[in-house]
Structure 1
Amino acid sequence: MLEVALRHRFPGPAGFLLDAAFTAPAPGVTVLFGASGSGKSSILAAVAGLLRPQEGRIALHGQPLTDTAARHFLPPEARRCAMVFQEGRLFPHRSVEGNLRYGLRRAPRGAEGPGFGEVVDLLGLAPLLARRPARLSGGEKQRVALGRALLARPSLLLLDEPLAALDTPRRAEVLPFLEALRDTARLPMLYVTHAMEEADRLADTLVLLQGGRVQAAGPLEALTARTDLPLLATRRDAGVVLTCEVTGMERGLARLAFPGGTLLAPLGDPLPGRHVRLRVRARDVAVARGAAPALSTDNTLPALLQSIEPAGERECFLRLGIGPSTLLARVTRDAVQRLALHPGEAVTALVNAVGGERG
């Protein structure tokens, strides 16, 4: 388990106070999510030992890295934390292979971890080994930086907005490698981002930060279903994330099973048995009383209207129970009145579109 509890006031006119505490299971990916200036990178620096907090305790697997009460501060080089930054920070005079082997040389004697060949295969680096960084794309540089960090065989992998400097195609190129890393390396990872798509695809645990404080922390699916969190509920893409299993094809669409129901959606790799995450946006869900009429939508699901919750002056969130799972629908208050909707009644959820694959 990763335990973080720290308090640190930064000097200057703004007088920013970082006062944050959370725990996260390890292995797994813990995503620190929030706007710029919310304290995400400062927490990462404190975990890495690059920031000594004025008060606090940071521990991994019960072993303290920082404990100000006990006057214990493990230096950065002794923490076995590997960092990946926005830009790869590769050695320009070394080839890709040389950069990777530098990471391997930094691994502690006897430390367990993936071998050189495994990392090269995992990150698709074989065609790049002889190149220098100047001949790599931004996405390729980040893959090499990830490989170098892995080969150092860290106890904790720290990623500070590793995709922020990449354009959309390059981000799409690197995200599957990050997913593969999450699923195969079984390392605890602390990942900083302000991009919801990255959180959707990578997070096991989500930590929401605002103004230097933790607004909420917990499993990704549980937090995305909450409407009391402004960081999530006020977004145009507000909605829940469902973990689904591909069970086949139907009418040219992948059939995706989740606890309580099935959705049809376009999918790039509809391999049966594959697990994917889907964000179902609240604005793409409507409701009908009783059985739904014939509609162009691909998805109709029987649901229980659990609650009606405010979403601004003119709209509401409808919390819909689909078996043990939850969907949110964002509708107008007028629609609630016209349909005479009340918590506890059976309705039909109409899912007009699924907000994209999250592998």
Structure 2
Amino acid sequence: MVDKIECAKGIQAQFQLNYRQSAKTHFELDIDIDIPGQGITAIFGGSGSGKTSLLRCIAGLEQNATGSLMVNDELWQDTSVFVATHKRSLGYVFQEASLFEHLTAMGNLRYAIKRSAQTTNPELLTQVVSVMGIESILSQFPQQLSGGEKQRVAIARALLSQPKLLLMDEPLASLDTPRKLEILPYLERLRSSFNIPILYVSHAVDEIVRLADHLVIMEQGKVLAQGGITELFSRADLPLGVSNEVGAIVECKVVERDTQWHLMRVAFDGGELWLPNVANKDSNSQRIRVLASDVSLTLTSHTDSSILNVLSGQIAEIINDQDPAMSLVRLKVGKSYLLARLTQKSLQNLALTLGKSVWIQIKSAAIVR
């Protein structure tokens, strides 16, 4: 195993860009972000929010964009400097793998090694191939590979160029659900194996929850919010999903695995939760997502219920939902926060107000990982 590729100083980007193709077609990008120099930062937003435009600016593909870009203390762009795309130390993975059809998978990897500005340690090739799980397909041509296999080769090729920044523009968008589930574990390995910063564009909440450490939320060409993923997902005022998809993220530690009932008990600063056991039994950490629609509140603790998870908390915020019949309640549990989606009628019946102590009920079967 070779040493991890280290880059931890941060990325500062400010860009302004105007598209005006006609009187009816106008888009303006105006962003200012400061994100970590390692881990996966998800760029999240709906179609037309400016996610891909931001990546293109960072890659130097939008020469009409004004602003500045600093990548781990290296200046790539400002009013007097513009480093050309081919001179920016970055890898770019698109929705389509775009492999060279006349080369095998290994041939595509060797092309990246040849193009790299740095000498490639043979151990890096071994590490990248292992992390992406492509040992058995190296002799095959792209037309012999599945969509998921092609993307894994494309990511490996980008890593072997030894970039200081990896850009990924909805790399799973063209895959069906089985192929998407196949490739997600390999993307998770990137975070622990390579400390280069990764900007991951997506509008799929499930991908972001599973992969990202940091989050930038975009809307109509502007940054709506940026910060740690658990912090932003626990806010009640951000459009992180719609209706039943809204939920908070909690980082937990596994404290018990019950083989009789096939459950595991996890702990976080707000208490403990039971949930179905998972296949990765060697992992002592779990990132879980608790959907607001799966949380109910009571004023007293109940033991005569099928619900295993009951936590004590306080109401921190109440805001109106998009549905006029509903409200979104932010709950402080220890140092963490959860969300509950309740009817306005339930709010009134329980006389729920800011600061009120409540009991929080969560079904084990409803917890998402």
Given the two structures, how large is their TM-score scaled by the length of structure 2? 0.92
Partner in structure 2 of residue 300 of structure 1:
310
Whether 2:246 is the aligned partner of 1:243: answer no
Number of residues paired by the alignment?
354
Secondary structure of 2:159's partner? helix
Partner in structure 2 of residue 354 of structure 1:
366
Whether 2:285 is the aligned partner of 1:275: answer yes
Q: Which amino acid aligns with 1:334?
A: K
Query: 2 CA distance for matches of 1:54 and 1:309?
Result: 38
Distance 1:43 1:269, change over 3 A: same
1:61 CA drift (Å)? 1.2
- Kept after mapping to 2: 8 A contact 1:254/1:270: no
1:182 CA drift (Å)? 1.2
1:355 CA drift (Å)? 4.0
Partner in structure 1 of residue 335 of structure 2:
324
Query: 2 CA distance for matches of 1:39 and 1:272?
Result: 39
Query: 1 CA distance for matches of 2:326 and 2:121?
Result: 53
What's the CA shift string for 1:98-118, capped at 9, x where partnerless? 111111112213478961111
Q: Which amino acid aligns with 2:328?
A: F
Alignment of structure 1 residues 117-196 onto 2, 5 Å: 117-196=126-205
1:54 CA drift (Å)? 3.4
Gapped runs of 5+ residues in structure 2?
A: 1-9
What's the CA shift string for 1:312-356, capped at 9, x where partnerless? 422122221211111111111111111122322321100124342
- Kept after mapping to 1: 8 A contact 2:147/2:175: yes
Whether 2:355 is the aligned partner of 1:344: answer yes
Q: Which amino acid aligns with 2:271?
A: G
Of the structure 1 ranges 330-339 and 287-296, higher mean CA displacement relative to structure 2 is found in 287-296
Aligned mate of 2:270, from 260, 263, 268: 260
Given the two structures, how large is their TM-score scaled by the length of structure 1? 0.94
Whether 2:25 is the aligned partner of 1:17: answer no
Q: Which amino acid aligns with 2:172?
A: L
Gapped runs of 5+ residues in structure 1?
A: none
1:309 CA drift (Å)? 2.4
What's the CA shift string for 1:81-134, capped at 9, x where partnerless? 110111111111111111111111122134789611111111111110111111
Whether 2:94 is the aligned partner of 1:85: answer yes
Secondary structure of 2:62's partner? coil
What's the CA shift string for 1:255-287, capped at 9, x where partnerless? 222222121112432525432221100010001
Q: Which amino acid aligns with 2:299?
A: R
Q: Which amino acid aligns with 1:247?
A: V
Whether 2:42 is the aligned partner of 1:31: answer yes
Query: 2 CA distance for matches of 1:234 and 1:171?
Result: 22
What's the CA shift string for 1:194-232, capped at 9, x where partnerless? 111111111111111111111111111111111112x22
